[in-house]
Structure 1
């Protein structure tokens, strides 16, 4: 029989870390992130999901925004046979809106595996989630940061759900059924977006 000290992870175990970088176009004039522990790593049990939404009692992390669902999304850790890596899935918990993960839209309760680097979009929010591998099996860390620019523009990631309309300079969000004016579209030689985006 194992004693308790053998079952607890040691401080030397390198924990997997999810770096979650947040952006909202009006974040400077609102206290949207007032309930989020910015700039520090928080430790979570791998058995429990990390929930993000506006209701602080139901979510691990709360956004101070009435346009965000009570429960917006959940990140759940998991492992696969024959692999030491801790991986994550993402699930849309919002009945009101879709959640976009890179090129895929998720409706209510739909879930998918989270890639090592993912651009998450819901409402006007953009989140860049980057997984840093670790060795520990029972827990992981999450570190939150606020970005000054949208991660879709900062990282040069292609946002495939957007269809450019060249003559008007506008952009239609197919999966979200909304129109956004973004100004004239220009080609940037440093960003290559193929048909697979």
Structure 2
């Protein structure tokens, strides 16, 4: 067998696309330690750790407000399934971590869906899993977003679809007696009248 037949190609690897946003990312070098725009291969049996400590973590954020070890992402498989799945764990003793609106306390773990909005401190991370065939490793690709991913997606309330040109909001799954008052912004509370 020659070398080209035994080597994996990038297309064979499951890839975690991690898209980051922080309100002060333009004036600080928060992401200078991350391999932005480059895919890096990671062994499936090792947890992928993110935090401020570059020695203890796989990837580091240059931010004193982030915990030394903030979170861990672990790959796993279930019997009779070729897919690589992932779980996320909060490693921070001092801060909450939320996954699609569900809070995780210290050492609590949750399965990651194919698309997840992660929040900690003032960071928002959109993680999108693109399935591949390789079983012993996966790829990670970091990208910085100009706007928070929560403005583009509403994973916690899937029935809410913002209409960009008017600012109104269509809410299909709420009872008919609930009505939205005025334009709705992403950071405003939904006001209803019964």
Regarding TM over 0.5, the answer is yes
Question: Secondary structure in 1 aligned to 2:150?
Answer: helix
2:67 matches 1:93: no
1:82 Cα offset (Å):
1.1
Question: Secondary structure in 2 aligned to 1:43?
Answer: strand
Report Cα offsets for 1:156-191 as digits up to 9, x if no partner. Answer: 44479xxxxxxxxxxxxxxxxxxxxxxxxx963357
Rounded to whole Å, the distance in 2 between the matches of 1:192 and 1:70 is 43
Which contiguous aligned blocks of 4+ residues in structure 1 show a shift greater than 4 angstroms?
190-195
1:188 to 156, 168, 172: 168
2:97 matches 1:117: no
Rounded to whole Å, the distance in 1 between the matches of 2:80 and 2:21 is 36
Q: Which runs of 5+ in 2 are unaligned?
A: 159-165, 176-194
Rounded to whole Å, the distance in 2 between the matches of 1:157 and 1:144 is 20
Pair 9,95 (structure 1): closer, same or farther in 2 beyond 3 Å: farther
1:154 Cα offset (Å):
1.8
Normalising by structure 1, report the TM-score: 0.77
RMSD over equivalenced CA pairs, Å: 2.5
1:55 to 53, 56, 74: 53
* Equivalenced residues, count: 165
2:68 to 60, 65, 70: 70
2:31 matches 1:33: yes
2:10 matches 1:19: no
State which structure, 1 or 2, has the greater radius of gyration over its C-alpha atoms: 2
Normalising by structure 2, report the TM-score: 0.78
1:103 Cα offset (Å):
2.3
Question: Secondary structure in 2 aligned to 1:153?
Answer: helix
Alpha carbons 1:37, 1:144 under 8 Å: kept: yes
Rounded to whole Å, the distance in 2 between the matches of 1:27 and 1:194 is 37
Alpha carbons 1:156, 1:191 under 8 Å: kept: no
Alpha carbons 1:31, 1:64 under 8 Å: kept: yes
Rounded to whole Å, the distance in 2 between the matches of 1:191 and 1:18 is 31
2:100 matches 1:102: yes
